[in-house]
Amino acid sequence: MLTNARYDVGRKLYIAERVVNFIGEITPSFGFPVIAWDLRLIVKSYLDRQGRTVRAFQANLPGKDWLTSFLRRHHELTQRIAQNIYHARAATDEETVNNFFNNLEEELRDIPPSNIWNYDETNLVDDPGKPKIITKRGTKYPERIRNASKACTSIMVCGNAEGRLAPLYVNYKSQKLWTTWTEGGP
């Protein structure tokens, strides 16, 4: 005889829905999203605080297979590669940008273009590291705030509003400058 009764198969679930909500919505909004290792540690901490021991987890720490199954069960969560942004840039909003350009227009009103210079620095970074983070599905720009990066070379460019450029300036982060670094360049 067939019935419409639903039976749950498999092991029982070990974490509450509020943990899923915390991971998917709250932590990314702070700019510090959860990576896979963090999620596994959150679950371990949750189980330890509840006084529960799960024999399937070694030392109460879920494995990578559990993480894969967890993400499959919770379609609202996904793993994405995060963009690293500085804390100051993360705090910039539309109103701040509009105020800046309104003030700039006021300040530059009677200044000739030959006297308006802009200086910009570009860093060529070896590897800032972009780990996969766990975030709510559909997040347009998954980001994490970082203030540190690995070694980099800085290139400084300066030009004015008429289109004239000053010579490039290259800053190598090193105790000694190798002559081969500057061959064919500034």
Query: What pLDDT digit, counting tens, does each position of 103-113 carry?
Result: 988 988 999 99
Averaged pLDDT in 10-residue chunks for the chain of 186 residues: 58 66 67 81 88 90 90 83 69 81 90 92 72 76 62 86 91 78 74
Identify the domain containing residue 111 by its residue range.
84-129+151-182
Q: Are residues 27 and 71 in the same domain?
A: yes
In a domain, 1, yes or no: no
Cβ-contact 112, 61 below 8 angstroms: no
Q: Are residues 95 and 135 in the same domain?
A: no
Model pTM score: 0.47
Predicted local confidence at residue 149, as pLDDT: 47
Q: Are residues 176 and 93 in the same domain?
A: yes
Number of compact structural domains in the chain: 2
Q: Are residues 45 and 134 in the same domain?
A: yes
Q: How far is CA 84 from CA 22, 24, 36, in A?
A: 21, 18, 17
Q: Are residues 50 and 110 in the same domain?
A: no
Q: Are residues 90 and 156 in the same domain?
A: yes
Query: What pLDDT digit, counting tens, does each position of 63-117 carry?
Result: 999 889 888 888 888 888 877 776 666 667 788 888 888 998 898 899 999 999 9
Q: Are residues 159 and 94 in the same domain?
A: yes
Q: Are residues 73 and 122 in the same domain?
A: no
Q: Are residues 24 and 58 in the same domain?
A: yes
Q: Are residues 169 and 107 in the same domain?
A: yes
Q: Are residues 61 and 101 in the same domain?
A: no
